[in-house]
Copies of this chain bind each other. A is one copy, B any other.
Amino acid sequence: MTQVIDFQTDPSNYRHWRVEYHGETANLFMDVDEAGGLFPGYELKLNSYDLGVDIELADVVQRMRFEHPEVKVVVMQSAKDKVFCAGANIRMLGGASHAHKVNFCKFTNETRNTFEAAEADSGQLYMAAIKGACAGGGYELALACNHIMLTNDSTSSVALPEVPLLAVLPGTGGLTRVTDKRKVRRDLADVFCSVEEGVKGQRAVDWKLVDEVVANSKFDATVQERADEFAAANAKPSGLTGIALTPLQRSFGDGGSVIYSTVEVVIERDTRRANVTLMGPQDDAPADVDALQAQGAETYLLRLARELDDALLHLRLNEREVGLVVFRTQGDAEKLVSHETLLLENADHWLANEILKYWKRVLKRVDMTSRSLVALVEHGSCFAGVLAELLWSVDRSYMMLEEFEGDNRPLAAITLSQSNFGSYPMGNDLTRLQTRFLGEPEAVEGLSQQIGEALDAEAAEELGLITYAFDDIDWEDEVRLFMEERASFSPDAMTGLEANLRFAGPETMETRIFGRLTAWQNWIFQRPNAVGPEGALQRYGTGKRGEYNMERV
């Protein structure tokens, strides 16, 4: 599995999904092409999915928000008979490396979260209309929707058969959404997760696994009715006109570099580093929201978000030996802040809102990126407002102190904006500053007095905004030593360390999915009972059950 995986697609290239738009509602059909697997060696039978199917789905959800703001309700359904979705393709999982499995699950989890974010942040509600078998990852798709309807016939059911069938967990949020979102009683959840054939009919409602069960003959009409009701009850303004998410400007260079219009990724293979430089805006901010909408996908902050998002996914899946991602910025901080200010001051405008909320998702993607992250605040940089968030998303930051010989760029400074105090909450629902200063809420209060000030390295260090400030004499050595040290550590230990240090404070359903559930699933993905030659995942489909070591740990 060494081919480059591309996260960019568009409807003209979809092989697995189809959307029909009907004004305020959209019908999203899952119709997986069996022959359309991302890798050879498996067929995507029964609407089972692999990463390629999920890349299209992520694109659907993203375009729904930017290209179709008129949509208030998305009805997810199957275009196949007798099956809603059979979940992640087992042969794909059985053949995939541990790293691919983990990254696949992370991306699918992030995509499921966007369903819920679409309603919370944008008033686009997802509902699942289930006809036929809905199992494993299929039911996890439904769980991520905020309303689940099940038809009442002998073949339609919801199930999480992973434990009995495959000896792994329903790891794409399944267990967490069952207990924490749908609040299924834990002993019933235990029963549900033990029953290969799942639960159907009224019992699925009684156990809170679905919201309603409807007679087959009335199902389509009732689904339509419910969608119309949700749309009518929705407070989102009607009749909005979207923008087109035009293809990214992107070129792949030698040695793994990727050059976008505002983002540059340079890989240093020998040291296992990726240098990611974000460029400030060339142009002034649009004059107003009309100008913003006219710029569409070309507007600077949207372009930057899309390019950074793509770069992160590219690094995660295609550059797996990169252990350290080095973030730099270069550009005009004031101009950057003016772009962000337009969005903040017009946050009630749909597109301004969507761009801000997209940054919230992209910054969460940074938080969740399982590589060591460092920010270098160099002279000429523009860590301001939204880009300042990167300083508290990374594991450490280094800032240039005072003048450097031969460097005539403007002295390094950090500028806080109002957005740093609430626009981009982390998965734990706190801002990055609140998380950073968990023990000193008064420090966050104090920082809010510094909005708009260009804070030099001395001030930034004093305020705790960065880890270290070094002058011309020490900078190069200190940064080099850090990077060399980091490269010498076990990547697994760093993954575990970062997963624990990055998310202090309260846990939410989201952090529990990525922390507790994912960690246990990753553990199981290492255990012979699941992935060994006689493990259940390898034996699936052979007619033989897995053979287990029965020792409990």
Q: List the interface of chain A (C-beta within 8 A of B).
A: 98-99, 102-103, 162-164, 166-169, 175-176, 178-180, 182-191, 193-194, 208, 272, 320-323, 370-371, 394-397, 435-440, 464, 466-467, 485-486, 488-507, 512, 515-517, 519-524, 526-527, 529-530, 536, 545-546, 548-553
Cβ of A144 to closest chain B Cβ, rounded Å: 17
Tell whether, in the assembled complex, residue B529 and residue A526 are in contact, meaning their CB atoms are under 8 Å apart: no
Tell whether, in the assembled complex, residue A504 and residue B180 are in contact, meaning their CB atoms are under 8 Å apart: yes
Tell whether, in the assembled complex, residue B516 and residue A499 are in contact, meaning their CB atoms are under 8 Å apart: yes
Tell whether, in the assembled complex, residue B467 and residue A187 are in contact, meaning their CB atoms are under 8 Å apart: yes
Chain B residue with Cβ nearest A491: B552
Chain B residue with Cβ nearest A162: B493
Tell whether, in the assembled complex, residue B491 and residue A550 are in contact, meaning their CB atoms are under 8 Å apart: yes
Give the CA-CA distance A464 to B502 in the complex, in Å.
Answer: 38
Tell whether, in the assembled complex, residue B495 and residue A552 are in contact, meaning their CB atoms are under 8 Å apart: yes
List, sorted by A's number, 25 A–B pairs whose CB atoms are closer than 8 Å: A99-B551, A99-B553, A163-B497, A167-B490, A175-B500, A179-B504, A190-B395, A190-B396, A320-B551, A322-B552, A370-B552, A371-B552, A490-B527, A490-B548, A491-B549, A491-B553, A492-B527, A495-B520, A496-B523, A500-B517, A507-B507, A507-B516, A515-B515, A516-B516, A522-B523
Instruction: Note all chain B residues with C-beta closer than 8 A to A548.
Output: 489-492
Give the CA-CA distance A127 to B322 in the complex, in Å.
Answer: 43
Tell whether, in the assembled complex, residue A490 and residue B163 are in contact, meaning their CB atoms are under 8 Å apart: yes
Cβ of A269 to closest chain B Cβ, rounded Å: 11
Give the CA-CA distance A54 to B505 in the complex, in Å.
Answer: 29
Tell whether, in the assembled complex, residue A507 and residue B504 are in contact, meaning their CB atoms are under 8 Å apart: no
Contact A438/B529 with A497-B169, A500-B520, A520-B499 known, Cβ cut-off 8 Å: no
Instruction: Note all chain B residues with C-beta closer than 8 A to A395.
Output: 186-187, 190
Instruction: Note all chain B residues with C-beta closer than 8 A to A492.
Output: 167, 523-524, 527, 529-530, 548, 553
Give the CA-CA distance A33 to B466 in the complex, in Å.
Answer: 45
Give the CA-CA distance A452 to B164 in the complex, in Å.
Answer: 40
Tell whether, in the assembled complex, residue A187 and residue B397 are in contact, meaning their CB atoms are under 8 Å apart: yes
Tell whether, in the assembled complex, residue B529 and residue A185 are in contact, meaning their CB atoms are under 8 Å apart: no
Q: For the complex of A and B, list the 7 residue pairs with the smallest distance between their C-beta atoms, beginning with the closest.
A: A183-B439, A519-B519, A167-B490, A507-B507, A179-B504, A496-B520, A175-B500
Give the CA-CA distance A549 to B495 in the complex, in Å.
Answer: 13
* Contacting residue for A522 out of B323, B506, B536, B553, CB 8 A: B553
Tell whether, in the assembled complex, residue B438 and residue A183 are in contact, meaning their CB atoms are under 8 Å apart: yes
Cβ of A470 to closest chain B Cβ, rounded Å: 14
Instruction: Note all chain B residues with C-beta closer than 8 A to A549.
Output: 491
Instruction: Note all chain B residues with C-beta closer than 8 A to A320.
Output: 551-553
Instruction: Note all chain B residues with C-beta closer than 8 A to A485.
Output: 164, 194
Instruction: Note all chain B residues with C-beta closer than 8 A to A486.
Output: 194
Give the CA-CA distance A504 to B208 in the complex, in Å.
Answer: 15
Chain B residue with Cβ nearest A512: B507
Give the CA-CA distance A438 to B166 in the complex, in Å.
Answer: 29
Tell whether, in the assembled complex, residue A490 and residue B523 are in contact, meaning their CB atoms are under 8 Å apart: no
Instruction: Note all chain B residues with C-beta closer than 8 A to A517.
Output: 500
Contact A500/B523 with A553-B370, A553-B492 known, Cβ cut-off 8 Å: no
Instruction: Note all chain B residues with C-beta closer than 8 A to A491.
Output: 529, 548-553
* Contacting residue for A526 out of B184, B193, B495, B527, CB 8 A: B527
Chain B residue with Cβ nearest A440: B183
Tell whether, in the assembled complex, residue A169 and residue B530 are in contact, meaning their CB atoms are under 8 Å apart: no
Tell whether, in the assembled complex, residue A194 and residue B322 are in contact, meaning their CB atoms are under 8 Å apart: no
Instruction: Note all chain B residues with C-beta closer than 8 A to A188.
Output: 467
Tell whether, in the assembled complex, residue B490 and residue A530 are in contact, meaning their CB atoms are under 8 Å apart: yes
Cβ of A117 to closest chain B Cβ, rounded Å: 21
Cβ of A222 to closest chain B Cβ, rounded Å: 24
Instruction: Note all chain B residues with C-beta closer than 8 A to A178.
Output: 501
* Contacting residue for A504 out of B166, B186, B194, CB 8 A: B186
Give the CA-CA distance A437 to B188 in the complex, in Å.
Answer: 12
Instruction: Note all chain B residues with C-beta closer than 8 A to A167.
Output: 489-490, 492-493
Contact A506/B507 with A190-B395, A523-B522 known, Cβ cut-off 8 Å: yes
Instruction: Note all chain B residues with C-beta closer than 8 A to A488.
Output: 164, 545
Instruction: Note all chain B residues with C-beta closer than 8 A to A185.
Output: 436-437, 464
Most B C-beta atoms less than 10 A away, residue of A179, A491, A553: A553
Most B C-beta atoms less than 10 A away, residue of A193, A435, A515, A526: A526
Chain B residue with Cβ nearest A527: B492
Instruction: Note all chain B residues with C-beta closer than 8 A to A396.
Output: 187, 190-191
Give the CA-CA distance A495 to B550 in the complex, in Å.
Answer: 12
Give the CA-CA distance A438 to B208 in the complex, in Å.
Answer: 12
Q: 18 extra interchain contacts, Cβ-Cβ under 8 A, other than A323-B550, A512-B515, A516-B516?
A: A163-B497, A167-B490, A169-B497, A184-B439, A187-B397, A187-B467, A190-B395, A190-B498, A191-B467, A272-B550, A321-B552, A490-B536, A499-B516, A500-B516, A507-B512, A516-B519, A522-B523, A522-B553
Contact A163/B438 with A175-B500, A504-B183, A526-B526 known, Cβ cut-off 8 Å: no
Tell whether, in the assembled complex, residue B526 and residue A496 are in contact, meaning their CB atoms are under 8 Å apart: no
Chain B residue with Cβ nearest A178: B501
